[in-house]
Amino acid sequence: MLKKSSLVLWGVVLFVAWNALILFFLWTRPQSLSDHSHLTEEVIRLAEDAETELERQKDLLQQIYRYSVLWSRRQTKPLPAAAASAQPSTAAPLPHLSQISPDAVLPVLVIACDRSTVRRCLDKLLHYRPSKERFPIIVSQDCGHDETARVIASYGDAVMHIKQPNLSDIPVPTDHRKFQGYYKIARHYHWALSQVFQTFQYQAAIVVEDDLEVAPDFFEYFQAAFPLLLADPTLWCVSAWNDNGKEQMVDAAHPELLYRTDFFPGLGWLLLSDLWNELEPKWPKAFWDDWMRQPEQRRGRSCIRPEVSRTMTFGRKGVSHGQFFDQHLKFIKLNDRFVPFAQMDLSYLKRNEYDRSFRDQVYSAPELRVEELQGNQRRELGTVRVQYTTRDSFKAFAKALGVMDDLKSGVPRAGYRGIVSFLYRGRRVYLAPPSDWTGYDPSWS
């Protein structure tokens, strides 16, 4: 607590020092008798800038105060036995993977900006949340949007509201001016994740954005998959999202189906503090999600993803101006059945066992041409495989079958070992490379 009190004290010192510097500048600035009007205008401008900065400093001090109160409560308030060992401690070093408990607290970090419809996201999270202690909700707000801030504040202590302090524009290359929003999103993610893992020192976190609605078993899914993420170093995230999760392309009768994927899905995902320690020093200035999909970051690791998505997006408004939403995102099916994942054995998703069984399933399936599938032929074959050999054949077959056809560093959306699994006219289809596949070609983009 002494450390946090010092932090508050330093905040006050910085606040006072800033004001002193402003006053010193105004008092000592040379005056030109020949241009009093210009000097008056400049003094007014400086005063306005100072007022803006003072508001920012005030907001920072308020956040520091809130954090100090939170830390004080954590030191004095008894915790449930399951959560006590996992609470953040600012005095202890960041935990290593081997020290993370399967019963660790899993905060939900909600990335917010200027959507007052964040209420829809928070209402569902709070409705389905099984435990406030196990799943605290932290809303990190960028943009300084007053209406959104009031909505978040209306939840009181049901959520923690933190605000990104730096709202300034970011210098970008001339040809990237239209992408300013993507730069600000990357900056916000960096700040928010650093708060969760370095300031609050949580051991893992579930990240969602303010335009996501969650499924009834959202928390159950992440709670059950978390130990798997700890146990298998070939995994680096658990995602709630299926990029090919349109209603006609998923087996809604079997929402318990889970897969490995080499494609980073995002849109509701769980990561460990160890991963943030790895990524934070090289975090990109923009386009953070595509950066995550590069081989240098993925390093051969995979994510877990569901057959039926545990999140859906309702946010047409955004930096992409709604085009991707209208064409694709609004058609993703949200799971509406509770699956008791915590009572299931998910060890089949560990790489060695999964690779063997999944590969057998795929390459034992009879091969069919796209034209035969489209003509609904050979129904008696059941599950089938469509084989592609080149980038162009993948994109052509994917487009013909309604599958997402874009590639990131050579990896297809929802793909694993180059294989994309989906339903087409009610039958399971594997869009797959030849059985002697040797790896992704990053030039396939």
CA–CA distance from 427 to each of 379, 419, 421 (Å)?
A: 8, 16, 11
Q: 270: which strand partners?
A: 206, 238
CA–CA distance from 422 to each of 24, 73, 77, 359 (Å)?
A: 67, 48, 49, 15
DSSP state of 421: E
Contacts 24+ apart (CB under 8 A), 352-357: 354/260, 355/417
The structure tokens listed for 68 are 């100090």
The structure tokens listed for 43 are 């003094």
> Sign of the C-alpha dihedral, residues 277, 283, 287, 293?
negative
The structure tokens listed for 234 are 């070939």
Question: CA–CA separation, 111 vs 185, rounded Å?
Answer: 9
- Residues, the chain: 445
The structure tokens listed for 379 are 């129904």
Question: CA–CA separation, 120 vs 326, rounded Å?
Answer: 20
308 touches 252 (CB < 8 A):
yes
> 78-87 burial by CB neighbour count: b if 16+ within 10 A, else e?
eeeeebeebb
Question: CA–CA separation, 236 vs 264, rounded Å?
Answer: 9
60, exposed or middle or buried, with CB in 10 Å at 0-12, 13-18, 19+?
middle
Q: Which helix (H) or strand (E) is 121 found in, with range?
A: helix 118-128
239 touches 409 (CB < 8 A):
no
The structure tokens listed for 103 are 């019963």
Q: Do strands 204-209 and 108-112 pair parallel, antiparallel, or not at all (unpaired)?
A: parallel
Q: In 10 A of CB 409, how many CB atoms?
A: 19
Catalytic residues: 289
Q: Is 139 helix (H, G, I), strand (E, B) or coil?
A: strand
On the CB side of 176, how many CA atoms lie within 13 Å of its CA? Answer: 13
The percent of the chain in helix, strand and coil, each rounded to the nearest 5, is: 45, 15, 35
Q: Among 339, 128, 106, 345, which Cα is nearest to 238's?
A: 106
